[in-house]
Amino acid sequence: MHIEAQPGHMGAIASGVDLSKPVADADCEQLNSALMTHHLLCIRDQDLAPPQFAAAARLFGTPQIQFLNDYRLEEAQEVTVISNYNKLGGDKPHVRATHWHSDDSYFAEPGRVTMLLAKALPSSGGGTHFIDTMAVLDAMPENLRAKIAGRRAVHKYLSRRNVAKVAIRTPEEEALTPDVSHPLIRTISETGRQALYINPNRIDHIEGLDNAQSDALLDEVYAFAFEERFQHRHDWQLGDLVMWDNACTMHRAGTDFDVTELREFHRVLLQGRVPQ
């Protein structure tokens, strides 16, 4: 097995390992270490049926079952389908998650790691963009960091600042997603380092501020966090298994492709913990 770090703040690519077969303990440890070190890890050339994908995910943590029932696969309840042909778009193609976000932040215990397996790709374009929010916080001007230090934000499944279409929940699913509060700066338990923890698509407001004050501060934080110097783009190959640490990253889907061509992934989320 070979792991190569990518240029910039984040990302590593692993090759020479087949997750459909038993993985040596040393290789498993090396893969987990690469994910924690680089925040984003791509394992090339994986051909996994949904049950195999769910089993492989257990090498990195505990898979959780997607709370939206319509997106689950019957043969592996931990695996969901992410596609530009889904119920959000009806009969027309619709690209999900095109705005910066961090998965699962509307839960008290957000999913820690997201895993995407490329099953179908357009002929060109359609990459996924990432931001290293640990690097963002490290570079943040002291006056801006002081404004958010110790503050918490309210995350909602459907916030008043929402900029992307989200799936409609059943009453039972709504009961599973009450509003939650998370710190704007969270500590990564494994390393003690800190990262900016934001989800522009789910944060409704900052606690202790009125909406106008909250919006102004959020806009200032977002403008800094979205700077190109913090971004990394992954250009997909079929069979890529890409995983990232939601505690210190944001991501969004690229739209630079023919949306009539199928772009489809299988996804697994690994259980996390309450952000501190």
Instruction: Kindly indicate the confidence band of residue 225, based on its pLDDT and cuts at 50, 70 and 90.
Output: very high
Residue 259 forms part of a structural domain: yes
Instruction: Kindly indicate the confidence band of residue 87, based on its pLDDT and cuts at 50, 70 and 90.
Output: low
Residue 35 forms part of a structural domain: yes
**pLDDT tens digits, residue range 245-254?**
999 999 999 9
Residue 18 forms part of a structural domain: yes
Residue 15 forms part of a structural domain: yes
- CATH number where 59 lies: 3.60.130.10
Task: Say how far apart CA 43 and CA 2 lie, in whole Å.
Answer: 10
**pLDDT tens digits, residue range 11-65?**
999 999 999 999 999 999 999 999 999 999 999 999 999 999 999 999 999 999 8
Domain count, the chain: 1
What is the pLDDT, as a whole number, of residue 116?
98
Given phi > 0 = left and psi -120 to 50 = alpha, else beta, which region is 103? beta
For the record, the structure tokens of 7 come out as: 């240029």
Residues of the domain holding 229? 2-270
* Bridging pattern class, strands 185-187 and 63-64: unpaired
Residue 276 forms part of a structural domain: no
- Compute the C-alpha angle 247/22/38, nearest 5°: 25
Residue 275 forms part of a structural domain: no
Task: Say how far apart CA 181 and CA 130 lie, in whole Å.
Answer: 24
What is the pLDDT, as a whole number, of residue 47?
98
Nearest alpha carbon to residue 59 among 79, 29, 36 = 29
Residue 152 forms part of a structural domain: yes
- Whole-model pTM: value is 0.94
86-90, 103-107, 242-246: range with lowest mean pLDDT: 86-90
